[in-house]
Chains A and B, each alone.
Chain A
Amino acid sequence: MANTLAEKYAERIQHHLSKYPDKRSAVMPLLYIAQEEYGWLSPQGIEEVAELCDMDPTQVKSIAGFYTMYREQPKGKFWLHVCTDLPCALKGAETFYADLLAHLGIEDGGTTEDGTFTVEHVMCLAACDRAPMLQCNFHFHEHLDMDKMRELLDQWRKEAEAYANKDV
């Protein structure tokens, strides 16, 4: 079986493998690369990472399942992690989160029908002084309110459309 990751991301993979005396240590950075390629950790992605790190696919799968930032199922293009932990909650994050879910018409952990957004609540993201806040894919957005949120959602919808059109 061809290893798509090995071919497409050779340089980055080599960089990570070279950082550690043991290939197995590269499993986390390589899982991020697989997720980037496939959008989630598909069986194919898990197999390829396992081969690159000299590991058993079931071991790789259990690593992926241990952490919250790996996607074990396909999710929305934009993955929103809203912090509702204690300090943020004291600054209105729970209300903000409820408003956001109502606005998108989904439940906690749900994905919008068009597949653009998946929204989850998470624990402290080390930005408690800038609540309410969220992480979208890999970036933080802070000092939020619903006005700012609507603007961001519009912007992300446009990005998702542009991306979809490019694909065709």
Chain B
Amino acid sequence: MNIIFREKDIPNIREFDVYVKHDGYKAFEKALRMKPIDVINEVKASNLRGRGGAGFPTGVKWSFIPQSEPIKYVVVNADESETGTFKDRQIMENNPHQLIEGALIAAWAIQATAVYIYLRGEFWDIAHALDKHIEDARQAGYVGENIKGSGWSCEVYTHLGAGAYICGEESALLNSLEGKLGQPRVRPPFPAQKGGGLYSEPTVVNNVETLANVPFIIMNGADEYKKIGTEQSTGTKIFCVSGHVNNPGNFEFPMGEITFRQLIFDHAGGIPDGKQIKAILPSGGSGPIVPATDEILDTPLTYEDLQKHGTILGSASIIILDETVDITWAASKMTKFFKHESCGKCTPCREGTYWLDKVLDRILRGEGKPSDVDLINNIAANMQGVTLCALGDFAANPILATIKHFPNDFMAHVGGELKAAGD
């Protein structure tokens, strides 16, 4: 079932005329006939959760916006820089109007004066294509002054970043958009509050995939939407599968409809060269790794089921590791990512990622001692829960999980005592 990847059923849906022919912008027109508060309540009732990683209920977030403020913004998070994530890109390339329509519905719901779509700088070509799609929507009267006679005006702009993972964190993104250093802000105030958003005005920040769900909800109602997925994980989710599979790519499924095993073997083509699967990173480099046991492989893909197994669905960037992968090496790759991307504002994150990287390099060179593994555990544990933004935790959690689940991979390098697998 494709709610988002509708290009699979309708070729060229990226073109405005084709999109409109297939009920495009009907949901937005319907929303314009509804009271903004009713739009918010419909999205609340759908239980739609943010697809950017944290899974926060979207309608609830919109309801935090103080309606009395005259200036408000919607900011679309199209920074997509999490290792292993490449879904927002496909949405913007193939079904861009559904994102624009979703963002406009959000803008009406909070009575925003403008929408900014913040794309990572590397999405240069996508941003320029998006500018053209926005212009098509403007020509048809869906963007600009007095939209469809509603008396409400709203602009939609794109803004290109320039290569910095931290700008995907919403408060860093807002700073970057304001022309400041892209470093996270102290909260509260949160973006939805006066003083916390873009130019200090109340602001809703949503992920691309989140907003692309909104037209379906408004068009068909929350009850229809809730029939898809599970009670706690409504709707479809796009799973980005990469690494050791024959057929990597994006797969959209209702949440809970398939398990890891079905996703990896039935849809992503299984493991190349007859190798065995060893481990899964369900949420890119920032969520805990899990060993590919039968129990894990048979887990349905929902927020709640992954949480039960000590990991997270996050943005569902699912990286598959086969039996040849040394988990110590994988841990080092992830650490190098966070060391490079730490904005340096807080000491535990800046210093912690530096030391983790140094010790892991030492271990990989064969110069480590068994006590280095404890040292890594210590450094990572001291980064948890003490930093200004979640990057500090993102850097620590995967390391702790790799050592917990694959101690032998570390011990093999440092000549320590082997522990029973899975301890």
Contacts and interface: CB of A to CB of B under 8 A. Distances in A.
Indicate whether A and B interact.
yes
A123 B337 contact: yes
A25 B124 CA distance: 18
Given A89-B333, A129-B242, A67 B83 contact: no
Interface of B: 80-86, 88-89, 120-125, 155, 157, 159-165, 176-182, 199, 240-244, 248-250, 281, 284-285, 317, 319-321, 325, 330, 333-334, 337, 340-341
Contacts of A139: 124-125
A13 interface: no
Contact of B330 (A67, A86, A124): A86
Given A68-B164, A128-B84, A128-B242, A22 B199 contact: yes
B176 A124 contact: no
Contacts of B242: 87, 90, 128-129, 131
Given A87-B242, A123-B83, A124-B284, 6 more contacts: A66-B182, A69-B162, A86-B243, A90-B243, A90-B320, A128-B85
Interface stretch (A27-35, A98-106, A153-161): A27-35
Interface of A: 19, 21-22, 24-29, 31-32, 53, 55, 62-63, 66-70, 81, 85-87, 89-91, 122-129, 131, 135, 138-140
Interface of A is mostly: mixed
A66 to B, nearest CB: 5
Contacts of A131: 242
17 contacts: A19-B157, A24-B180, A25-B159, A28-B162, A62-B181, A67-B161, A68-B162, A69-B122, A86-B281, A86-B330, A86-B333, A91-B248, A122-B163, A124-B85, A126-B81, A129-B242, A129-B249
Given A66-B181, A85-B333, A91-B243, A127 B86 contact: yes
Nearest to B80: A126
Contact of A63 (B89, B122, B179): B179
B178 to A, nearest CB: 6
A18 B15 CA distance: 27
B39 to A, nearest CB: 25
B249 A67 contact: no
Contact of B319 (A22, A27, A87, A126): A87
Contacts of B163: 67-69, 122
A138 B124 contact: yes
B199 A28 contact: no
A28 B334 contact: no
B179 A26 contact: yes
